[in-house]
Structure 1
Amino acid sequence: MEGLSGKLTQDAPLAKLVWFKAGGTADWLFEPADADELRTFLERLEGSLPIMALGLGSNLIVRDGGVPGVVVKLGKPFAGVEVQDDHVLACGAGAHGILVASTARDAGVAGLEFLRGIPGTVGGFVRMNGGAYGREVGDILIDCDVVMPDGRCHNLPASDLQYSYRHSALPAGAVVIGARFQGEPGDPDAIGAEMDRIAQAREQSQPVRTKTGGSTFKNPPGYRAWELVDAAGCRGLTMGGAQVSEKHTNFLINTGDATGAEIEGLGEEVKRRVYENCGVELEWEIQRVGRP
């Protein structure tokens, strides 16, 4: 950390940083002051430790044994959003989806409204090809800036990410620090109305005011995950302090004091019951990290 002004914490509790409010600690938590500090820090590590970027922790189960290596938390220095020519938005990886969509609305840039419905930050959206309400990041991404685990910085066009459903080809340990999204001309009032519609639909259908992790399972081809979970009789199913949401069965919730193991274990039990009921094997959409 010599010459660096960012914050480095050993055995840092992660539960308070993720939406489930559960799980263990990070061996090390690094909060860089800017992109140059992040590059310098990773360069000094020389690839000797695993690296994991953390945004809002909205789609993440942290296991109780903690996360090995270094967790990189990108804060306010990475949360800017700038409107550029030709209806392009340049966004820091720490920018919230709501901020990106709102900035686009105010500038009369359409096509990014769906980001209003995804809880999380740009870095997570880019890595996981985040999507909602019929669109996904792969539809709007121009390119992204990435710091590799050895400190090298690359600008990657969207084509290099080889996007598929909730997946990209970004290597493990690569930290997204910024991205550019392509919008189109639009009327701010119409854009705002669409954002309001998305927000209302999300409020009505999802347990947004609970300790949750977003959509638990990917939709299998030809199916909706929540319908399979419901058909298998899992609505309201519990394991310790973890529960399948009564409101939306593709959401797991922490009812108060669930452990990471209980949340993950409940998800595995749901997978087992769905397969037993209809022969479809669900695939996790929520990321699970750390030691059991």
Structure 2
Amino acid sequence: MAAEALPQAMPEVRGKLTPDAPLAKLVWFKTGGCADWLFEPADADDLSDFLRALDPAIPVMALGFGSNMIVRDSGVPGVVIRLGKAFAGVERIDSTTLRCGGGASGILVSSTARDAGIGGLEFLRSIPGTVGGFVRMNGGAYGREVKDVLRVCEVVLRSGQRKFLSPEDLAYTYRHSELPEGAVVISATFRGHIDSPEAIQAEMDRIAAAREASQPLRTKTGGSTFKNPEGLKAWQLVDEAGCRGLTVGGAQVSEKHTNFLINTGDATSSDIEALGEEVRRRVKQNSGVELEWEIQRVGRK
């Protein structure tokens, strides 16, 4: 549905509603087309009222830091929702618990936990995204996942209804949840354990050093491209299939970590997605293993 066909259908908002909004600058790959509409709500009530009044036929998608996403070149239909400062707070609830806004970064969550003497959330330091994305994708790294620390999250459903969901409601599996279609995570409560800030900082430093040593952090990338198959490492399967450094257009399989695709400078989203599919084909041919995308691919094909 094109943005020019929608103006009369858009509800009034207190936040910012932008038609034909470029998304490339908002995602890590720095590629892709426009959203028909980009909505940055003023607060949770603004978001709830907007979704309640929005034509149910118009699709809705939440966008965090865009760190694990390919936005296709033809753009994203409907409304993309991006949570701003009103959703980026983190507060201590008790000696082991934090309530975090859906737009809060992993770095802010882990740093706040450190200052509060709450251990067990250090792994969030290593995931370049926001709380809403972590909850949706069961984000994880270095042996821990969101399902290990989440107690409850609050979402705004596509209908505009606000609802609390437990980890059981989300039916978590590896990098996947059963979050309802069109729902937006506006907060999450995480529980860790009591630990010293010094020990927490040491673990965060260890994780940061490990990432720096093994991942192409200073490139236009989308993070881990493929899920690790049961008992296997995706990067190793990609490497064994001879894909290290493989290119399609301006997209390349990272030389540093073969489960990362990078935009060398002039890649299109089509280049990146085509490269991923070629890697999947070669891995299947070489090992018989069918890799599954971990990166979310969104927009019109």
Q: What is the CA deviation profile of residues 33-83 of structure 1, one whole-angstrom value per residue up to 9, with x for unaligned ones?
A: 100000010011042311000000000000011000000010111000001
Match of 1:203 in 2: 212
- Matching residue's letter, 1:107: A
Distance 2:270 2:25 in 1: 17
Distance 2:13 2:163 in 1: 22
Whether 1:151 aligns to 2:192 is no
Contact 1:81 1:100 in 2 (8 A): yes
- Matching residue's letter, 2:101: G
- Matching residue's letter, 2:179: L
Distance 1:258 1:74 in 2: 27
Distance 1:214 1:11 in 2: 27
Match of 1:267 in 2: 276
Contact 1:46 1:150 in 2 (8 A): no
Distance 1:2 1:190 in 2: 49
Distance 1:101 1:136 in 2: 14
Distance 1:201 1:3 in 2: 47
Within the candidate set 70, 76, 86, 1:67 is matched to 76
Contact 2:11 2:54 in 1 (8 A): no
Distance 1:210 1:190 in 2: 30
Whether 1:177 aligns to 2:186 is yes
Match of 2:114 in 1: 105
Distance 2:262 2:70 in 1: 11
Superposition CA RMSD, Å: 0.9
Match of 1:57 in 2: 66
Distance 1:66 1:273 in 2: 28
Q: What is the CA deviation profile of residues 160-194 of structure 1, one whole-angstrom value per residue up to 9, with x for unaligned ones?
A: 10000000010221100000001110010000000
Give 3-state SS (helix, strand or coil) of 1:57's partner.
coil
Contact 2:126 2:208 in 1 (8 A): yes
Distance 2:239 2:228 in 1: 13
| Residues 121-270 of structure 1: pairs in structure 2 closer than 5 A | 121-270=130-279
TM-score after normalising by structure 1:
0.99
TM-score after normalising by structure 2:
0.96
Give 3-state SS (helix, strand or coil) of 2:261's partner.
strand
Whether 1:47 aligns to 2:73 is no
- Matching residue's letter, 2:150: L
Aligned positions, number: 292
Within the candidate set 91, 106, 110, 1:82 is matched to 91
- Matching residue's letter, 1:102: S
Q: What is the CA deviation profile of residues 223-251 of structure 1, one whole-angstrom value per residue up to 9, with x for unaligned ones?
A: 10000000000000000000000000000
Distance 2:132 2:66 in 1: 11
- Matching residue's letter, 1:48: A
- Matching residue's letter, 1:40: D
Percent identity reads 72
Q: What is the CA deviation profile of residues 189-238 of structure 1, one whole-angstrom value per residue up to 9, with x for unaligned ones?
A: 00000000000100110001100000000000111000000000000000
Q: Please, which runs of 5 or more residues in structure 1 have no aligned partner?
A: none
Alpha-carbon offset, residue 2 of structure 1 = 6.5
Q: What is the CA deviation profile of residues 109-166 of structure 1, one whole-angstrom value per residue up to 9, with x for unaligned ones?
A: 0000000111100000000000000000000000000001110110111111000000
- Matching residue's letter, 1:122: V
Give 3-state SS (helix, strand or coil) of 1:204's partner.
helix
Give 3-state SS (helix, strand or coil) of 1:65's partner.
coil
Match of 2:3 in 1: none
Whether 1:26 aligns to 2:35 is yes
- Matching residue's letter, 2:129: G
- Matching residue's letter, 1:210: T
Distance 2:222 2:13 in 1: 33
